[in-house]
Structure 1
Amino acid sequence: MTGHPEQWSGQRQRDASELREHLLSAPGGDTMANSTTTSGSSGSDSGSSAAQQRLEEKRREAEAQGSGAAPASERWAIQVYAALSSSLLTGQSAAAASFGSIAVDHIERGLGSVPASDGQLTLFLTAHFVGTTLGSLVCGALGQRFGSRTLMLAVTPFSLLAWLAVALSPSVATMTIGRLSLGFLTMIQMSANVLFISATSSPKYRGLLCNFMEMLAALAVSATFLVGKYLVWRHAAVALGVGFNVLAAGLLAPLPADPLFLLTRGRLEEARRALLFYRGADADTSVLKERAVTAAAADERVEVTSLGARLRLLRRRSHCVPLLLLVVQYVVYCWSGAGVVQNYAVVLIRRVGIALDPFLMTIVLNLSRVPITCLNSVLVDRWGRRPLLALSAAGMAACHLAMAASFVWPAVAAHRWLPVASLFSCMVFFALGIGPVTWLLLGELLPRALRELCGGWIMVLFSLLTVSQLQLFPGMLSTLGEAGTFALWAAVMLAYLVFMAVALPETRGLSIEQIERLFESPRDGAQPPRVTSPPPLQV
């Protein structure tokens, strides 16, 4: 802020006064505000403070009802609504990836009136993953600028246009451009979905609500293949584009922005109202109160706007360690073999001499993940993250070893049911732990000060690892063989068990702020600087 010193001093006093008002407007705010005053209060002050607190509680209840915020007994329904609405866009991303195989199958069969060579169709399939990689490069900056909810809504009409561009394309070249655009846009929406759910859900329900992404992704893939079974790919593209985007936009429009985004922008009053909306009148606003006390008492406003300043925040252990844990988690997620099993299931089954209908195989394989993900939703907040991850990794390692044995020993290969059972069991164990919990950890472990920026980095890593795994799999089969490939994936799972036991903390029941404190060290000093954008702290 520029101006004369006396002007800045006056503005500072006005800001401090406004921030103290925020203390009085938050649950328990009277107590915290009184703790910042001098100790010369008389005994009569405590009586008036108690009366004032009762009045403030009544005022807050009336304000919550007048602003549309749900009471505590109804906040569960609102959080479910928000999670389902945003997770439709993650389902759209999964549907867009699966749509490529449907379009290629129809074009090869002469449906859709688009002549294409094998090289053009391969490029068309790869375009989606190129688009997701490009989208992951910008999703962090866009989320930081606009917030997760606003970003999801803003991208929705462009996603619909990308679907229509694919459906109306006169050639494979324009189809490829439309598919690349669709991958770019859906990756932005998916990354925003993760941050939105983690910021709007309470710690008690966060594990369950984050699983909606995995469930809707599995259902979306199955629905995509069902649509492709009965509709030509052009009509299927229109149906999928309209269905996902119109429904998601209509459901997301009434919701406010997520509280964490508003908090990082210094909009404390809007953040408080958002918390009341999503979590009821008894929402934990301790973060807002701590921020207001610090700013009102010391007037510490550290603006971190440049990329270099944000990167320097990674020197803090509380920021660096969670990011490294997420990097390892996503390496394991992408190189667990589950993605290859899902996309190459028919190829793998045919290699052991069993022929299955490709559409039926894909539909059943994805539908098998839904009930297991529902089971994970119940257990993740009861057992915790680590037990489910350990069970998932151990089960997938056993399935991979069974597949490797079926390619090595004839006695094992004689049981034709074993490869099919191993593939399905692998996806079951994946859906029980590593699949949904990885996305849950993304929302929980990202440091608040670098939430959108680091989230974008993780999405870049996720895209690159996914593409590399799918592209390298044929080469792995030719060099390592089927047995060697599955043995490698089993080794990855066993190594992950050791890593998880040593380095990954349990986050069940903890708020985002409490999780961040798990990684703090004495060298970090006081609270990290607040990330704002000019003008600072506008309330």
Structure 2
Amino acid sequence: MEKSRLLYVVLFHTVFASFGEIEANLLNYLTVPVRQFFADSLLLRYGIAPYSSQFEFVYSMVASIFFIGAIFGGAIMGPCMEHFGRRATAVYLRSFLGALSAICMLLSKWLTIIELFAIGHFIAGVIAAWKIAMFIYLAECAPDHSRGWSTSLIGSGSTLALLLMASLCLPSVFGNDQLWWLLPAFALLLSIFHLCFAAHFPESPKHLFCGARRNKTAENCHERAKLSIKFYHGSAADVFKVMNQFEQEQQLLTSREHFKWTDFWKIPELRHSLCITLLTSWVFAFSLTNLKSQYLESMLMRYGLTQTGAMISTMALIAVTAPFCFLSPVLIERWGRRPLFLLVTSFSVAELALITGAQFASDQTASGGNDATAALALIGFTFGQSSANLGILHMTPILIGELIPHAARSATIQVNLLFASPLFIFIVIAYPPLIDTWGALFFMPMALISAVLLFLLYRWMPETKGLSVNTIFRRMAKLGLLNSSSEGSTTSINGDGYEDEETEALILKN
């Protein structure tokens, strides 16, 4: 019964929180009608000729503003999660912004104002960054043994939403000048429904418990935490044991009620955990995931496909790799995090290598793309879509929820976004002006860096399947993964050993 209740909650968020994916990919999946809308608006308001150099500059800037919104969203997400709570950030604020983004896009179409579309696209970037808050929220709600599949299911649902969206974006359906506005209208309905009904789900029990120390109504928070545990873990859950785990996690960073970035340097275990999450963030940043979210259709057309062929190929890519969406929640619990995330990174490296080859072949011909380059690119994009479906997007949120104690999670999210966001913003901005002159050299450094990241993850990433955060944190110190001094380990960890003898035996065995 308790599993089914948690499953219903996760499925609800999976379906109705997907408005963010629709808004984030409008510019990519509706390339032709949206570019025509941009051309009409710029010609009408500013006299800019369609498809001129000025037009291309404006188009690339509107595409890039999405990632500026992602940086802004990442910067304010941590404080919002701490002050307003996990649920308020992931549900109330995110859904409200989803509705606002959709309204801006609808008004831009009806009023022929490109600036409104840019504002909506900026807000869509904020929403995309705040999907991390949804992962953290559900990771804190789920029991340790269900944490992996519950967060993976949210990520898999995003891919299935894009499959539905791709089918609706065909020129014969909504992907034309007259009907493309129906996609943001659909996103508007999803966001409103999510806002109205997800408000009935309780706040994260861990946030309620750990936030009680700085809350004047601590006793009330503890009572609400108990009710939340029973809701998400089941009425038969051992509430005392779960709250004892929360207490032990809270003691990991004792005397650090207000966590600071400098604490990452002072605590060796935390520093190592941060490094691992940064590696996975950079895997995502150097992958083609962000670039494809804005330019996949134009990339496919560059390699020799027509608009319809590119759209059908996109649908085929998502459909062929769709089984990985259903496998991901299973594999993350059966295989564990480490082997799955290494496979995800390997697929991303393979995609970059194949696209580099396709671009190199395209550079050698005067006509650009042909059937051979299109086939090579499609094989590469298949690896990339497999990587996305298996979890390249939610690797970092899952590891933040498992490697980082509650008090340091918001700061960890901010650090990751600070060091990763400028990278993929630069890649997205640089692609249109540089791809014609640099060719394959544009992708080659990304492939090499991703290969190095794969090697580092192979060396350093621990297995966290089924373990509580405090157990994982102590495991790092126990195994000496940081080569840290005994003094550093002592100052960072409070408590009397492991949660139980069985867990300690498992750790020592591994």
- Return 5+ residue gaps in structure 2 as ranges: 49-54, 213-220, 478-483, 496-510
**Whole-angstrom distance in 2 between the partners of 1:422 and 1:188:** 26
Matched, 1:525 2:490: yes
**Whole-angstrom distance in 2 between the partners of 1:354 and 1:279:** 50
- Return 5+ residue gaps in structure 1 as ranges: 1-73, 531-539
How big is the shift at 1:284?
A: 6.1
Residues 305-358 of structure 1: per-residue CA shift (max 9 Å, x gap): 4x65x6436511232221121111111112023433554444444444344523
Residues 16-60 of structure 1: per-residue CA shift (max 9 Å, x gap): xxxxxxxxxxxxxxxxxxxxxxxxxxxxxxxxxxxxxxxxxxxxx
The one of 72, 96, 116 equivalent to 1:157 is 96
Describe the SS at the equivalent of 2:333.
coil
Instruction: State whether residues 214 and 435 of structure 1, in contact with CA within 8 Å, keep that contact through their aligned partners in structure 2.
Output: yes
Paired residue for 2:184? Answer: 237
How big is the shift at 1:256?
A: 0.7
Distance 1:337 1:255, change over 3 A: same
Distance 1:89 1:146, change over 3 A: farther
Aligned positions of 1:240-279 closer than 5 A: 240-242=187-189, 244-266=190-212, 267-279=221-233
Paired residue for 2:215? Answer: none
**Whole-angstrom distance in 1 between the partners of 2:29 and 2:300:** 19
Instruction: State whether residues 148 and 192 of structure 1, in contact with CA within 8 Å, keep that contact through their aligned partners in structure 2.
Output: yes
Describe the SS at the equivalent of 2:452.
helix
Matched, 1:389 2:341: yes
How big is the shift at 1:428?
A: 1.7
The one of 151, 157, 163 equivalent to 1:210 is 151
Paired residue for 1:21? Answer: none
Instruction: State whether residues 303 and 529 of structure 1, in contact with CA within 8 Å, keep that contact through their aligned partners in structure 2.
Output: no
Distance 1:236 1:355, change over 3 A: closer
Aligned residue pairs total 448
Instruction: State whether residues 22 and 183 of structure 2, in contact with CA within 8 Å, keep that contact through their aligned partners in structure 1.
Output: no
Aligned positions of 1:500-511 closer than 5 A: 500-511=457-468
The one of 270, 273, 284 equivalent to 1:319 is 270
**Whole-angstrom distance in 2 between the partners of 1:344 and 1:178:** 18
Instruction: State whether residues 91 and 199 of structure 2, in contact with CA within 8 Å, keep that contact through their aligned partners in structure 1.
Output: yes
Residues 292-313 of structure 1: per-residue CA shift (max 9 Å, x gap): 7999xx9x984734x65x6436
Instruction: State whether residues 152 and 391 of structure 2, in contact with CA within 8 Å, keep that contact through their aligned partners in structure 1.
Output: no
Aligned positions of 1:347-426 closer than 5 A: 347-355=298-306, 357=308, 358-406=310-358, 415=372, 417-426=375-384
Matched, 1:166 2:105: yes
Instruction: State whether residues 373 and 436 of structure 1, in contact with CA within 8 Å, keep that contact through their aligned partners in structure 2.
Output: no
**Whole-angstrom distance in 2 between the partners of 1:506 and 1:220:** 30
Describe the SS at the equivalent of 1:380.
helix
In terms of mean alpha carbon deviation, does 80-89 or 323-332 score higher?
80-89
Paired residue for 2:448? Answer: 491
Distance 1:463 1:489, change over 3 A: closer
Q: Which amino acid aligns with 2:346?
A: A
How big is the shift at 1:434?
A: 3.4
Distance 1:283 1:481, change over 3 A: farther
Paired residue for 1:200? Answer: 141
Question: How high is the TM-score relative to the length of structure 1?
Answer: 0.73
In terms of mean alpha carbon deviation, does 233-242 or 388-397 score higher?
388-397
Paired residue for 1:139? Answer: 77
**Whole-angstrom distance in 1 between the partners of 2:301 and 2:237:** 57
Paired residue for 1:477? Answer: 435
Q: Which amino acid aligns with 1:492?
A: I
Describe the SS at the equivalent of 1:100.
helix
Distance 1:259 1:250, change over 3 A: same
How big is the shift at 1:107?
A: 4.6
**Whole-angstrom distance in 2 between the partners of 1:102 and 1:396:** 21
**Whole-angstrom distance in 2 between the partners of 1:86 and 1:456:** 24
Instruction: State whether residues 112 and 233 of structure 1, in contact with CA within 8 Å, keep that contact through their aligned partners in structure 2.
Output: no
**Whole-angstrom distance in 1 between the partners of 2:248 and 2:65:** 50
Instruction: State whether residues 245 and 470 of structure 2, in contact with CA within 8 Å, keep that contact through their aligned partners in structure 1.
Output: no
Distance 1:125 1:343, change over 3 A: closer
Instruction: State whether residues 200 and 259 of structure 1, in contact with CA within 8 Å, keep that contact through their aligned partners in structure 2.
Output: yes
Paired residue for 1:47? Answer: none
Paired residue for 1:304? Answer: 257
Describe the SS at the equivalent of 1:424.
helix
Instruction: State whether residues 107 and 115 of structure 1, in contact with CA within 8 Å, keep that contact through their aligned partners in structure 2.
Output: no
Residues 385-438 of structure 1: per-residue CA shift (max 9 Å, x gap): 222233333344344434444555799x98553332232133224433534434
**Whole-angstrom distance in 2 between the partners of 1:99 and 1:294:** 41
Describe the SS at the equivalent of 2:464.
coil
Matched, 1:82 2:9: yes
Instruction: State whether residues 82 and 410 of structure 2, in contact with CA within 8 Å, keep that contact through their aligned partners in structure 1.
Output: yes
Q: Which amino acid aligns with 1:366?
A: I
Instruction: State whether residues 336 and 492 of structure 1, in contact with CA within 8 Å, keep that contact through their aligned partners in structure 2.
Output: no
